[in-house]
Amino acid sequence: RDHNRSVITFVAEPEAAVEAAVRATRRAAELIDLNEHRGEHPRIGATDVIPFVPIRNVTMEDCVALARETGRRIAEELNIPVYLYERAATRPDRVDLANIRKGEFEGLREAIARDPDRAPDFGPPRVHPTAGATVVGARPPLIAYNVNLNTNDIEIARKIARAVRGRDGGLRYVKALGFELKDRGIVQVSMNLVDYEQTPIFRAFEMVKREAERYGVSVRGSEIVGLVPQAALDACAEWYLQLENFSREQILENRLAAALARLEVETPAAPASGVHPFLEAVAAATPAPGGGSVAALSGALAAALGEMMSRLTLQKKRFENVHERLRTVLAQLEDLRRTLSTAIEADAESFRRVMAAYRLPKETEDQQRLREREIQEALKAAVIVPTRTAEAAHAVLRALMELAQIGSPNALSDVAVGAQLALAAIKGAYYNVLTNLNAITDQAFNDEYHNRVLALLEEAEEWATHVETLLLNRFASANE
């Protein structure tokens, strides 16, 4: 309450994460007026900072790209100036968030227009009148960790923060400030542990505790804000209990998670274990995997045929003049096949999420509102997944178009089959998009995704026809 600040964490596919961040920023701008806002924590915006953190199947470079796209959209759509920080920073002095927050909203309001060093990376050189500015970036996982002290002397908290934080000679991977929690009559050392493996939680806690003892103050308690990696908590248990030869596999929940993961791999929700189990799963009296997963598989098969033609052509010396281009196309198709393979299960999972939302209780008005909100969000996710399938299959078809021009004519029929499979994938994705859009109430969202996939389909139909014409003309020439 003293901080007057909320931390919201969400895990999502890249495109959905950007959309969620922009929408959250829009809503915060509608609800929060910084001219009226007061709190202990430094801030320059209603949405103060948006860090993209790689968790699984995504790189830091991907997160940097997402941060820049989010910043661009916030500036263009909401007229809020945006600064890039950490790994996404465009200048060395903006890597550290504290440098950007200098002066907070009130100071930035004056400085942004007159000081060229405070010009934003995106948007106008003036703060939004009520929402201020927003900082967007990419960084590794960070732990927000606070230690509360049994004193109301803010100077003690500030001295401890200076002793602990890296920039003043303390723990290298710690950023710290001292805050007064007036409602509770105590003070707090608020820390960001930017690399919990190099500076674990227990080390930061022990240093704060020892520094506090110098001033005759005891620790009242500590808190974690937001999410924390399990490994960070395991390290604390191992250190404080002085466990010998401790292994993460000794934790019951870890063993259960590993067993469940193996079970998921063995379950034929996707064709990784072979075509026949997947066909049996599709043929079963269950709604998933269904048409969306089959469409993604069709696109993956199209990419695989393109890879085959590329490799066959690379074996032939008479095509040496296009080998470099073939290798580029081959690499693209390999990436696209992996993307589409992942979409097979992602589509089934999105359907399961929709069904789960429809099963939510609806006895009270609050339950009805929550259920409707969850249904709408699940339906939107079920549109985004096939849209990504269509985009990937469209890219496959573009690559096949090029292979039809430069690849071995002996494999042209395989490319033509691949083109039809890619077209089928896009059509199947389009049908899934239409099905889910029908129940979504957000008309702007509906128009955007309908037009997006329809444009892909129309272009794909032209490309597939072109590849088919090349094949038929070749047959006609051979029979003359």
Q: Which DSSP string do the residues of 322-352 spell out, in sequence order? A: GHHHHHHHHHHHHHHHHHHHHHHHHHHHHHH
Cα 212 to chain centroid distance, Å, stands at 39
The verdict on domain 14-138 having CATH code 3.30.990.10 is yes
| Average pLDDT of the segment spanning 171-188 | 92
- What mean pLDDT, rounded, does the chain reach? 88
| Single-letter code of the amino acid located at 455 | A
**Quick one: pLDDT at residue 2?**
60
**Quick one: pLDDT at residue 247?**
79
Q: Where in the chain is the domain with CATH 1.20.120.680?
A: 273-478
> How confident is residue 478, by pLDDT bands cut at 50, 70 and 90?
very low
Distance CA(437)–CA(292), nearest Å, equals 14
Q: Where in the chain is the domain with CATH 3.30.70.670?
A: 143-228
Contact 378, 350 (CB under 8 A): yes
What pLDDT, in 10s, does the model give residues 218-245? 999 999 988 888 889 999 999 999 988 8
Residue 360, C-beta contacts closer than 8 angstroms, at least 6 positions apart: 367, 370, 371, 374, 375
Catalytic residue annotation: 41, 347
Distance CA(101)–CA(107), nearest Å, equals 9
Contact 291, 382 (CB under 8 A): no
In this structure, what DSSP letter does residue 267 have? S
Least confident of 32-46, 163-177, 253-267, 423-437: 253-267
**Does the pLDDT of residue 259 top 80, yes or no?**
no
| Average pLDDT of the segment spanning 395-412 | 86
**Quick one: pLDDT at residue 475?**
66
**Does the pLDDT of residue 269 top 70, yes or no?**
no
**Quick one: pLDDT at residue 115?**
92
Q: Where in the chain is the domain with CATH 3.30.990.10?
A: 14-138
Q: What percent of the chain has pLDDT over 70?
A: 95
Residue 431, C-beta contacts closer than 8 angstroms, at least 6 positions apart: 291
> How confident is residue 357, by pLDDT bands cut at 50, 70 and 90?
confident
> How confident is residue 273, by pLDDT bands cut at 50, 70 and 90?
low
Residue 104, C-beta contacts closer than 8 angstroms, at least 6 positions apart: 42, 43, 44
The CA distances from residue 17 to 126, 431, 447, in Å, are 27, 24, 20
**Quick one: pLDDT at residue 37?**
85
Superfamily of domain 143-228: Formiminotransferase, C-terminal subdomain (3.30.70.670)
What pLDDT, in 10s, does the model give residues 296-332? 999 999 999 999 999 888 888 888 888 888 889 998 9
The CATH number of 273-478 is 1.20.120.680
Contact 413, 474 (CB under 8 A): no
